[in-house]
Amino acid sequence: MFDLLPEECLFIIIQYLLDDRSHFEQAQAVGNQNLQKRWKTVCKYPPNITAPFNMLKLGHKMIGWEKAPFTRIIPLMKIMPCIFNTNTMWTYIIEQEFRKGKRYKRKPKNSKITFKKKVQEIIQKRYIPILVHEKEISKYSHKECIKHHKQLHIIQKTLQSVKPQIPDISRLDDLDDNSPLPPIVPIRFKLPEGFIGRWGGPLQWECIYDMHQLSNDMRFHEINGTRYSKFYAQTKKNICNFENIIEKVMDEQDV
Residue of higher predicted confidence among 202 and 163: 202
**Region of poorest pLDDT, from 51-55, 65-69, 117-121, 201-205:** 51-55
Q: What tens digit of pLDDT does each residue of 228-246 get?
A: 999 999 989 888 888 887 7
pLDDT at position 21: 63
* Pure H helices in the chain: 7-19, 22-29, 55-58, 74-79, 81-84, 87-98, 111-160, 211-248
Residues 6+ apart with CB under 8 A from 109: 87
pLDDT at position 57: 47
Residue of higher predicted confidence among 134 and 16: 134
**In percent, how much of the chain has pLDDT > 70?**
76
Residues 6+ apart with CB under 8 A from 202: 193, 194, 195, 196
Whole-number average pLDDT of the chain: 78
42 burial (CB, 10 Å; 0-12 / 13-18 / 19+) is middle
Q: What is the CA 85 to chain-centroid distance, rounded?
A: 36
**Which regions of 111-195 does DSSP assign to beta strands (E)?**
188-191
Report if pTM > 0.85: no
pLDDT at position 51: 46
Contact assessment for residue 62 and residue 41, using Cβ atoms and an 8 Å cutoff: no
pLDDT at position 252: 47
Cα separation, 164 vs 182, in Å, equals 13
**Region of poorest pLDDT, from 139-153, 178-192, 200-214:** 178-192
Contact assessment for residue 69 and residue 17, using Cβ atoms and an 8 Å cutoff: yes
Contact assessment for residue 43 and residue 129, using Cβ atoms and an 8 Å cutoff: yes
Q: What tens digit of pLDDT does each residue of 183-194 get?
A: 787 888 999 999
Cα separation, 62 vs 20, in Å, equals 24
CA angle 95, 99, 103 (to 5 degrees): 50
**Region of poorest pLDDT, from 55-59, 94-98, 122-126, 130-134:** 55-59
Cα separation, 197 vs 23, in Å, equals 49
CA distances from 125 to 13, 128, 208 (A): 30, 6, 53
3-state secondary structure of 136: helix
Average pLDDT over residues 94-121: 85
Write phi, then psi, for 190 (nearest 5 degrees).
-95, 115
Cα separation, 98 vs 88, in Å, equals 15
3-state secondary structure of 41: coil
pLDDT at position 194: 94
